[in-house]
Amino acid sequence: MGKREDNAIATRKKLLDTADQLIVQRGYENISVDEIVKTAGIAKGTFYNYFERKEDLIFELSKEHFANVIDDNEAVSGDAFDVIKNYLVDYMTVIENSKIELARQWISYVSASSANRNKWKFDVQSFERILMKLIDAGKLKITTPVHQIAQLMLTEMYGILLTWCISPETVNPVTTVKRFCDLQLPSLLRDYLIQTN
């Protein structure tokens, strides 16, 4: 990679990091592109080289936050239950670490914007890749309904996220995911597990 590409990556990262900090501090609705670029020390026109509009930041921040979860869970060592549980716990840990303010802004934006429907597709496809790797590794049967299980798991994760945003005093998202995995995951996977001795 050349210097120009390195600079472009660094500039994009600086814009995302600055937006992330400002959203957590003041809320998505209370910041502008002007504030983001001023705080980042980058020209306003440069912002539009990377993002068409402010709304694009939410999806990109989400992808950036989850990149490590996806990369870390690409290896499927361990049994299928542990791989899936680790992925879901890591997924929710990233959300919890991003703070409730960002989670609330994300929910508000995703539910109100048709431009961000790709987030659901991105999450489902990421989970489908984990399931396909488990099938390829001989840990889940080829008949595993990958798309349906991925949608079901992500529906549960989104529900936990929403519940946490509504009642943060009574819901711990990571604890809730662990409880879900321990109580429900075995029955969801039972017909698709390949037993190894």
What's the per-residue H, E or C state across the chain?
Answer: CCHHHHHHHHHHHHHHHHHHHHHHHHCHHHCCHHHHHHHHCCCHHHHHHHCCCCCHHHHHHHHHHHHHHHHHCCCCCCCHHHHHHHHHHHHHHHHHHCCHHHHHHHHHHHHHCHHHCHHHHHHHHHHHHHHHHHHHCCCECCCCCHHHHHHHHHHHHHHHHHHHHHCCCCCCHHHHHHHHHHHHHHHHHCCCECCCC
Highest mean pLDDT among 23-27, 50-54, 163-167: 163-167
Q: Is 30 left (phi over 0), alpha (psi -120 to 50) or beta?
A: alpha
Mean pLDDT score of the chain: 86
Which tokens hold the place of 141? 């049967």
Residue with more model confidence, 133 or 55? 133
Instruction: Output the pLDDT for position 55.
Output: 76
Class of domain 55-197: mainly alpha
pLDDT > 90 fraction of the chain, expressed in percent and rounded: 52
pLDDT in tens, 53-73: 887 787 787 777 666 665 554
Class of domain 1-53: mainly alpha
Selection from 111, 91, 18, 9 nearest residue 57 by Cα:
18
The domain spans of the chain are: 1-53, 55-197
Handedness of CA 110, 111, 115, 121 (dihedral sign): positive
| Position 97 confidence tier, pLDDT thresholds 50, 70, 90 | confident
| Position 141 confidence tier, pLDDT thresholds 50, 70, 90 | very high
Q: How far apart (Å, rounded) are the C-alpha atoms in residues 49 and 12?
A: 9
Output the pTM of the full model: 0.75
Instruction: Give φ, ψ of 140 to 5 degrees.
Output: -130, 150
Instruction: Output the pLDDT for position 98.
Output: 77
Mean pLDDT of 106-113: 74
Residue with more model confidence, 118 or 190? 190
Look-up of token digits 């819901």: 171
Ranges 30-39, 57-66, 135-144, 157-166: which has the least confidence: 57-66
Instruction: Output the pLDDT for position 156.
Output: 96
Mean pLDDT of 12-26: 87
